[in-house]
Amino acid sequence: MPHIIVKLWPGKSDRQKKTLADKITRAVMDTLHYGEESISIAFEEVPATEWMEKVYDLDIRAMAATIFKKPGYTSI
């Protein structure tokens, strides 16, 4: 715990995914104080042609109240 799923368009290399997973892991450890052994991260590639249906509608629009960083807005 926690398990994080990153949904993204296909085409990123395994090296890019590994780098991002490492950075997310570090951020979770630093912010939430979990040990590295408690964190898992998965990547789910969703083609751009399916993004609205499989990600935006289900995970973003329908879950808007739970989104802390919305698309198109900066959180920094």
In this predicted model, what pLDDT tens digit does every residue of 5-27 receive, in sequence order? Answer: 999 999 999 999 999 999 999 99
11 and 38 co-located in one domain: yes
| 47 included as an active-site residue | no
24 and 8 co-located in one domain: yes
Structure-token pair, residue 11 = 């085409």
8 and 35 co-located in one domain: yes
Mean pLDDT of the chain: 95
**What's the confidence (pLDDT) of residue 74?**
73
How many CB atoms within 10 Å of residue 51? 15
DSSP lists the bridge partners of residue 43 as 6
Domain that holds residue 65: 49-76
12 and 26 co-located in one domain: yes
39 and 76 co-located in one domain: no
Q: Name the catalytic one among 2, 10, 47, 71.
A: 2
